[in-house]
Amino acid sequence: MTACISAVVWLPVRAQEFSPVVNDRVESGADDIPVIPQSEERRGGLELGAVISAAYSSNIYLSSSDPTSDLVVRIGPTVGYTQGDSKEGEGGFIQVAYRPTGVIYADNHSDSRVDQSLAVAAGWRGKASKLTYTGSAKMLGDATPDTGSQSDRLELANEIRGAWMPREKLAAELAVGGWQTTYDRSDLVDSGRIFGEVAVRYAYSPKTEIGTAYRAGRLEIDGSDSQTIQQVTGSIDWKPREKVHVKLEAGASFRNSGEDTNVTPVLNGRIDWTPSEGTEVFLTAYQREEVSALNDGQIYEVRGITAGFVRRLGGDWTARLEAGYESASYESVKGTGAASRKDRIWFVRPALEYRYSDEFDVSLFFKASDDNSTDDDFSYDEAVTGVELNYQF
């Protein structure tokens, strides 16, 4: 019945999982606390690691009119701590991971900075109940497609979730949480959301789990009236075959700004397929709404798809290939600025990894991306080539 209880944020203990260069999505959702699978080899206690990368980018500011190239070096030590097991047994558990990442520009020295990332998962597990807190705090300064420039910001996300299993295959959940994004620049828009959720999960069979959830909350955007949001979704976690795993959550979101109600689809899905030993294929799709940091009272609807291929080559070599496409359509709820902008972003990212030992690996990577926007000020293209070293002490 473990699978029926809401997933916990598994904190990274390997440096590679904190990669400063690679994200699964073109632009991560502001209210997403990253879910990272827990390593099967759990040593527990204090764990230390580090990642060092050097990458040459053709457009470090994602600029359309004046692309600036530079060599960017990132150095990030990792401190992690794990105690207890949230998946099996009873009692308390905690996982904490912290990484400061020095971002150093070879030519544009004044833009060098230190990004920071902290993630926490803690709770208690009983025979028929579970209480979990998950949270993250990030101080970032990279350029985003939304703003079209480097944007120093603080991103906070928190959730408390309780689960109760009155029967062997049935679980009821209750959660409260929220997220907040605050920018250092006065011309960018801060935003935040609080929510409450009730959900029911049912293990239909050992290979199939279904669920439904209702979430209600309030969205706050600086310079605009607050909005109420309700969301209804259904989910399935299905393993039709030993080598195929399908996870899908879909539904609708109802956003009321006081004047009218907008209904938009919600989608978050992933398919994993292992056709043979040493080969993995995945496909993801998502649709959601984000708050624009550029204009008061604007939101944008994001639709995207990514696909990836991992192949273990001879010896200790592994080849990776990921590609994706994302569209963002802007809408003016209240405030200034016409919302006619539409962005279409694609990316492709091949990489070659060599694992020298269980503690050390090296990756060579390349990433090409392009944003074709209806607003020429936000169109850009970028090519990044680099090397990344990961070490776990």
Residue 285 near residue 305, CB atoms below 8 Å: yes
Nearest in space to 86 (alpha carbons), one of 124, 120, 47: 124
pLDDT at residue 35 above 50?
no
Buried-exposed string 142-177: b where 16+ CB fall within 10 A, e elsewhere? bbbbbbbebbebebbbbbebbbebeeeeebbbebeb
Residues in contact with 293: Cβ distance below 8 Å, sequence separation at least 6, in sequence order: 144, 146, 147, 151, 153, 181, 183, 188, 189, 191
Neighbour-count burial for 6-31, b at 16+ CB within 10 Å, e otherwise? bebbbbbbbbbbbbbbbeeebbeebb
**Is residue 17's pLDDT more than 60?**
no
**Number of domains comprising the chain:** 1
In this predicted model, what pLDDT tens digit does every residue of 118-148 receive, in sequence order? Answer: 999 999 999 899 999 999 999 999 998 888 8
Domain coverage including residue 14: 2-392
Tens of pLDDT, residue by residue over 66-122, are 999 999 999 999 999 999 887 778 899 999 999 999 999 999 999 999 999 999 999
pLDDT score at 115: 94
Query: For the segment 225-267, what is each residue's pLDDT rounded down to a tens digit?
Result: 889 999 999 999 999 999 999 999 999 999 987 777 889 999 9
Q: What is the CATH number of the domain that holds 381?
A: 2.40.160
Spell out where the chain has E strands: 45-57, 70-83, 91-105, 113-125, 129-140, 143-144, 149-150, 153-167, 170-183, 191-205, 208-221, 227-241, 244-256, 261-276, 279-291, 298-312, 317-332, 342-355, 360-373, 380-392
Task: Report whether pLDDT(34) > 70.
Answer: no
CB 174 within 8 A of CB 197: yes
* Of 216 and 37, more confident: 216
Mean pLDDT of 350-357: 95
> Can you tell me the mean pLDDT for 327-343?
77
pLDDT tens digits, residue range 277-300? 999 999 999 999 999 998 767 889
Q: How confident is the model at residue 224 (pLDDT cuts 50, 70, 90)?
A: confident
Q: Please give the radius of gyration of the chain, using alpha carbons only, rounded to the nearest integer.
A: 21
- The predicted-structure confidence for 310-330, as pLDDT tens digits, reads as follows 999 988 999 999 999 999 999
pLDDT over threshold 80, residue 202: yes
Q: Which two tokens stand for residue 335?
A: 């405030």
- Round to whole Å and give the CA distance between 208 and 245: 10
